[in-house]
Structure 1
Amino acid sequence: MRIDFREIASGRNIADYTVEDKSNQSRTRKIYGAIEEACYALDLPRPIWLDQNIREFKRHAKTRFGQDSFLEELSFDFLEIQVLEEDLW
């Protein structure tokens, strides 16, 4: 599985990070692990999954975390995550 993370500010990509996970863990564990790794690498707090994020991610394998998903003030508009490649079983 490959998951892409992008920090977007004023419509521009200001930082990105891609996580590749070839482990045998569940999809959910891979996603949470990738978020933890990407947030550490990008020096970001971990976002809170809101109902809207869950629905978007289930439907499109992509979502955006805005200021309402973080406890700390952000220096960008949103963090976008997208699954680029799913595992084939």
Structure 2
Amino acid sequence: MFRIWGKIMKDNRLVKDHTVCIEDYTMTRTKKVYAALDELCYTFDLAKPIWLKSNQQDFIRHARTRFTQDNFIESIDFDYLDFQVIEEDY
């Protein structure tokens, strides 16, 4: 199972969170990550963030990244969206 935890943070407080579980073993890791991000954005009613180079590097190194206002075209009413892998199948 592949699980991603998404958290919306504002003023160092957790506003919303959601866990996405993907059990499709035929998908690549990259497709699972994008599918989880799509589901999180749908659940939180957000536009999809843009992956900047810093986000890609953080995610590759730590399996975690933060999407701030710089990643969204529309304005957001929170500080950042924390996106983290919490369980991964190999």
2:49 corresponds, among 42, 47, 50, to 47
CA deviations over 1:30-68 (Å, ceiling 9, x no partner)? 000000011001111110000000000000000000000
What TM-score do you get using the length of structure 2 for normalisation? 0.96
**Structure 2 residue runs without a partner (length 5+):** none
4+ residue segments displaced more than 2 Å:
none
Cα separation, 2, equivalents of 1:45 and 1:8 = 16
Post-superposition shift, 1:69?
0.1
Q: Percent identity over the alignment?
A: 45
What TM-score do you get using the length of structure 1 for normalisation? 0.97
Q: What is the correspondence of 1:1-89 to structure 2 with a 5 Å cutoff? A: 1-24=2-25, 25-88=27-90
RMSD: 0.5
Number of residue-to-residue matches in the alignment? 88
Cα separation, 1, equivalents of 2:89 and 2:49 = 24
Cα separation, 1, equivalents of 2:67 and 2:46 = 12
**Structure 1 residue runs without a partner (length 5+):** none
Give SS of 2:61's match.
helix
Post-superposition shift, 1:7?
0.3
